[in-house]
Amino acid sequence: MSHPTTTVVLPTKGPLLTRTGWSVFMMALIAVCAVAPVLNLWVPDSSMFHMSTYAVALLGKIMCYAIAALAMDLIWGYTGILSLGHGLFFALGGYVMGMYLMRQIGRDGNYKSDLPDFMVFLDWKTLPWHWTFSDSFAATLLLIVLVPGVVAFVFGFFAFRSRIKGVYFSIITQAMTFAAMLLFFRNETGFGGNNGFTDFKRILNIPLATPSMRMTLFVMTGLTLLGFFLFAKWLVGSKFGRVLQAIRDAETRVMFSGYNPLGYKLAIWVISAVMCGVAGALYVPQVGIINPGEMSPANSIEIAIWAAVGGRASLIGPIVGAFIVNGAKSWLTVAYPEYWLYFLGLLFIGVTLFLPAGVVGLVKKLRGGDK
């Protein structure tokens, strides 16, 4: 090819985070690992700087939600696949952790039996097969990743191979979590029926209901959130991440460029599900209960709302969204409990109509930044 010689400056791969990005990240890290523990554990109750146990519990919970929102953003914001079933993966991770916590109760339950209380109540004599590894913490950690991962893989493989897309996929995921909820509601499936698991006493033989244990879980959650954030940043910054965005924008072009979208969709779907499962596992010991209500369709929709409010296809967006919506929720459900659902609905409609890029998009716009 003959053409005039021009020097072309190709862009080089940018760093994982910008300098400002790293400073904000380090501040968040310090806030989670140092400031919060000090304010909660060492600053006396009387001081105005004291961080209450309520605040620790609330923020810890919201950070779990933020992980779920981040996971949702990877599959919805970046790949364009709206899942309305992520609550299932969250709950699966939670149930795996819940089973372990039930076993940790030991003989301290109401019936003073080796079996969890609800099994004694159902007059079961032995543990069902799927509780086999529930007394091992290591196995529990493994299963927190494996159970949501395998469920997502099997579901995703068939859905993506059949090229189910758009609203059809969303409806099927919604049906999936609803079906799972009905299954978990049943007593004979061995998940504690509609009461689920609660009354946890210990984790790793250490009592749960102590300030230091609460703080430990809080810090663990914060570190997980920050870690997942960096991981997600790396993912979307790689060529893999750009293929995902390409699938979102023009899937046929991706195929005719020689990529098989199945592998890509499946990979991000499973990654997203596992992140959600980990969030659920961190959530359960902090709130002290897991029941099939976590799998209700409304919960999954809420995850999508957090991501939409914060801003899709920007990793910080869903985290911000989870904090805004849940902060508003914890205040509104106390102040005006009957109006919360109306507010949530209005928020979703408002954001969809007026803020397609979410709060983060609005901030970017106000600062005059392009892109």
Partner 1 sequence: MTPDLLEQGARRIQERQAALDANKSNTESGGRSASGSRIATPGEVDVTHGRILYLEDVSVSFDGFKAINKLSLDIAPGELRCIIGPNGAGKTTMMDIITGKTRPDEGTVFFGSTIDLLRYKEAEIAQLGIGRKFQKPTVFEHLTVFENLELALKTNKGVKASLFFRLDSLQSDRLADILVTIHLADSVNRMAGNLSHGQKQWLEIGMLLMQDPKLLLLDEPVAGMTDEETARTAELFLTLKGKHSLMVVEHDMSFIRTISEIVTVLCDGSVLAQGTLDEVQANEKVIEVYLGR
Which one of residues 47, 52, 110, 238 is an interface residue with partner 1 (CB under 8 A)? 238
Instruction: Please report, to the nearest 10 degrees, the dihedral formed by the alpha carbons of residues 251, 253, 258, 262 taken in order.
Output: 10
Residue number with CB closer to partner 1 (114 or 251): 251
Residue number with CB closer to partner 1 (205 or 252): 252
Q: How far is the CB of 253 from partner 1 (least distance, A)?
A: 4
CA distances 11 to 8, 14, 60, 100, Å, are: 10, 8, 40, 50
Which one of residues 92, 96, 176, 243 is an interface residue with partner 1 (CB under 8 A)? 243
Cα gap 220→79, rounded to integer Å: 28
Q: Are 290 and 94 in contact (CB under 8 A)?
A: yes
Residue type, 283: Y
Structure-token match 């039996």, residue found: 113
Q: How far is the CB of 259 from partner 1 (least distance, A)?
A: 5
Q: Which of 215, 209, 221 is nearest to 37 (CA)?
A: 215
Question: Among 102-110, 130-138, 198-206, 245-253, which window interacts with partner 1 (CB under 8 A)?
Answer: 245-253
Tokens of 7: 């020097």
Question: Among 14-22, 150-158, 232-240, 282-290, which window interacts with partner 1 (CB under 8 A)?
Answer: 232-240
Residues in 255-274 at the binding interface with partner 1, rule: CB under 8 A: 255-261, 263-264, 267
Q: How far is the CB of 125 from partner 1 (least distance, A)?
A: 47
Q: Is 198 left (phi over 0), alpha (psi -120 to 50) or beta?
A: beta
Which one of residues 112, 130, 186, 242 is an interface residue with partner 1 (CB under 8 A)? 242
Which one of residues 239, 335, 353, 367 is an interface residue with partner 1 (CB under 8 A)? 239
Q: How far is the CB of 238 from partner 1 (least distance, A)?
A: 5
Q: Residue 8's Cα: distance from chain center in Å?
A: 43
Residues in 106-165 at the binding interface with partner 1, rule: CB under 8 A: none
Residues in 305-334 at the binding interface with partner 1, rule: CB under 8 A: 313
Cα gap 198→180, rounded to integer Å: 19
Q: Which of 303, 222, 169 is nearest to 60 (CA)?
A: 222
Cα gap 95→49, rounded to integer Å: 36
Cα gap 127→133, rounded to integer Å: 11
Cα gap 271→71, rounded to integer Å: 8
Residue number with CB closer to partner 1 (84 or 232): 232
Cα gap 267→79, rounded to integer Å: 11
Residue number with CB closer to partner 1 (14 or 44): 14
Q: How far is the CB of 74 from partner 1 (least distance, A)?
A: 14
Cα gap 140→118, rounded to integer Å: 20
Question: Under the criterion CB under 8 A, does residue 48 sit at the interface with partner 1?
Answer: no
Cα gap 118→105, rounded to integer Å: 12
Q: How far is the CB of 189 from partner 1 (least distance, A)?
A: 34
Q: How far is the CB of 262 from partner 1 (least distance, A)?
A: 9
Tokens of 33: 């690992």
Q: How far is the CB of 319 from partner 1 (least distance, A)?
A: 21
Question: Under the criterion CB under 8 A, does residue 250 sit at the interface with partner 1?
Answer: yes
Which one of residues 102, 246, 316, 351 is an interface residue with partner 1 (CB under 8 A)? 246
Residue number with CB closer to partner 1 (107 or 371): 371
Number of residues that bind partner 1 (CB under 8 A): 36
Question: Under the criterion CB under 8 A, does residue 245 sit at the interface with partner 1?
Answer: yes
Residues that bind partner 1 (CB under 8 A): 1-4, 6, 8-11, 13, 235, 238-240, 242-243, 245-246, 248-250, 252-261, 263-264, 267, 313, 371
